[in-house]
Amino acid sequence: MYLSPRFRAFAAGAALLAASALAQAQQALPNVVILATGGTIAGAGASAVNSATYAAAKVGVDKLIAGLPELSKIANVRGEQVFQVASESLTNDNLLTLAKRVSALSKQADVDGIVITHGTDTLEETAYFLTLTVHTSKPIVVVGSMRPGTALSADGALNLYDAVSVAGSKDAVGKGVLVTMNDNIDSGRDVSKNVNVKTSAFSSQWGPLGMVVEGKNYWFRAPVKRHTMASEFDIDAINALPAVEIAMGYEGVSSTAIDAFSKSGVKAIIHGGTGNGSVANRIVPNLQKARTDGAVIIRSSRVADGFVIRNAEQPDDKYDWVVAHDLRPQKARILAMVALTKTSDTKELQRIFWEY
Ligand code: DAS
């Protein structure tokens, strides 16, 4: 078909204008980096009905991004594959590596927000560790899924979309490390996995900070505990984490675990006690010996909600023990490891457990 030179010039000009408008629109979008670590959100099952039987940590970050073209409308996204593991297998060294990468990226002017895709089993521990140690006010969002992307009604795609949307949001700045699962925006400090088979697995006893619906954030509260920029701990100054172990309390509990932990030279033992952090009277001497041998004793509780009250179930002042406040054993362990990089003074440690 013949096209006049005038029309061809017009068409070329229009194409240039469109390309420039598109480029400007892309430039206006936030730059979000996705750090992938594995988990179910990167999982794959044999069939669509396998919502619980599947292999975690199989799908690479570039494939996750390519599988969600809607992301390109809300952010300029790029991915890095930091690990490809199920999160129950992550180590302290993995935690340090990940947090240092988050810290480095957060300092880059061309990064507006960071998303970490992560297995759900220990997501709450990683989210808390980042809360305590990464000095940035930029949104950091940790996200996982309870079903693999191959399953019917998979939750990973929307969770990831929400995570990128929140990570690119100006109103998420300064709110600490966040977790977006099942439409909620939770605090990385408060949230835990409370159901091991549902997409509504994650919640906090203090409630979510807000919700994200169709790319819009609805905030209802803000964190009150110290985090990120207000933290006295800095991942850039932490290169190793001390050994801290957890000994659970239960009917018939023996001192075997406590004695073994103490003998191994741990820097702290988290006691996940019954009720309000109760300790069976027969193992108090063993905890006292562990204390004398140099381990800090921190009383948490196996009961999901509530908080441990100092000098209530046990004479903490007399025993020189620390109480974990509302932190469950696994979260108390994260804070204890970070705090012990700075101090082993029990009065200082108790302050830290009140403030973080
Ligand atoms: N094994 C679990 C994990 O990697 C799978 C998941 O739920 O993400 O944490």
What are the φ/ψ torsions at residue 268 (nearest 5 degrees)? -160, 150
Ligand 1 center to 282 CA (angstroms): 37
CA atoms of 143 and 9, how far apart (whole Å): 49
Q: What is the pLDDT of residue 34?
A: 98
Q: Say yes or no: CB of residue 119 within 6 Å of ligand 1.
A: yes
CA atoms of 61 and 83, how far apart (whole Å): 10
Same fold, 29-230 and 243-355: yes
Domain at 243-355, CATH class: alpha beta
What average pLDDT does the chain have? 95
Q: Is 154:144 a contact under the CB 8 Å cutoff?
A: no
Ligand 1 center to 57 CA (angstroms): 8
CA atoms of 285 and 33, how far apart (whole Å): 50
Give the contacts of 45 (CB within 8 A, at least 6 positions apart): 51, 53, 54, 55, 148, 150, 151
Q: Say yes or no: CB of residue 184 within 6 Å of ligand 1.
A: no
Q: Is 244:234 a contact under the CB 8 Å cutoff?
A: no
Q: Is 132:338 a contact under the CB 8 Å cutoff?
A: yes
DSSP state of 274: B
Residue 19 has pLDDT above 80, yes or no: no
Q: What is the pLDDT of residue 122?
A: 98
Q: Say yes or no: CB of residue 196 within 6 Å of ligand 1.
A: no
Atom of ligand 1 nearest to the CA of 57: 4
Cα angle, residue 255 at apex, residues 251 and 258 outer, rounded to 5°: 115
Q: What is the pLDDT of residue 9?
A: 87
Residue 23 has pLDDT above 90, yes or no: no
Exposed/middle/buried for 74, CB within 10 Å: 0-12, 13-18, 19+?
middle
Question: In 3-state terms, what secondary structure has residue 177?
Answer: strand
Q: Say yes or no: CB of residue 148 within 6 Å of ligand 1.
A: no
Catalytic residues: 40
| Half-sphere exposure at residue 245, Cβ-oriented, CA atoms within 13 angstroms | 15
Tokens 């440690």, located at residue: 349
Atom of ligand 1 nearest to the CA of 38: 4
CA atoms of 104 and 98, how far apart (whole Å): 10
Q: What is the pLDDT of residue 264?
A: 97
CA atoms of 349 and 166, how far apart (whole Å): 33
Mean pLDDT within 182-204: 97
Specify whether the backbone of 51 is left (phi greater than 0), alpha (psi in -120 to 50) or beta.
alpha
Tokens 């952090």, located at residue: 277
User: When comparing pLDDT for 267 and 9, which is higher?
Assistant: 267
Q: Is 291:258 a contact under the CB 8 Å cutoff?
A: no
Predicted TM-score (pTM) of the model is 0.94
Question: In 3-state terms, what secondary structure has residue 161?
Answer: helix
The DSSP result for 71-129, as a single string, is GGGT-EEEEEEEEEE-GGG--HHHHHHHHHHHHHHHT-TT--EEEEE--SSSHHHHHHH
Largest CA distance in the chain: 97
Take atom 8 of ligand 1 and give the residue whose Cα is closest: 119
Q: What is the pLDDT of residue 217?
A: 98
Beta strand 202-203 with 192-193: parallel, antiparallel or unpaired?
antiparallel
Mean pLDDT within 203-230: 97
Q: What is the CATH number of domain 29-230?
A: 3.40.50.1170
User: When comparing pLDDT for 14 and 19, which is higher?
Assistant: 14
Q: What is the pLDDT of residue 8?
A: 87
Amino acid code (one letter) for 279: V
Q: How would you label 294-312 residue by residue, b for 16+ Cβ within 10 Å and e otherwise?
A: ebbbbbbbbbeeebbebee
CB count within 10 Å of CB 149 equals 23
Q: Say yes or no: CB of residue 87 within 6 Å of ligand 1.
A: yes
* Cα radius of gyration rounded to whole Å, the chain: 23
Specify whether the backbone of 79 is left (phi greater than 0), alpha (psi in -120 to 50) or beta.
beta
Q: What is the pLDDT of residue 27?
A: 76
The string of pLDDT tens digits covering residues 278-304 is 999 999 999 999 999 999 999 999 999
Amino acid code (one letter) for 69: P
Nearest C-alpha neighbor of 99 from the set 270, 243, 203, 233: 233
Domain ranges in the chain are 29-230, 243-355
CA distances to 237, 301, 328 from 255, rounded to whole Å, are 36, 17, 21
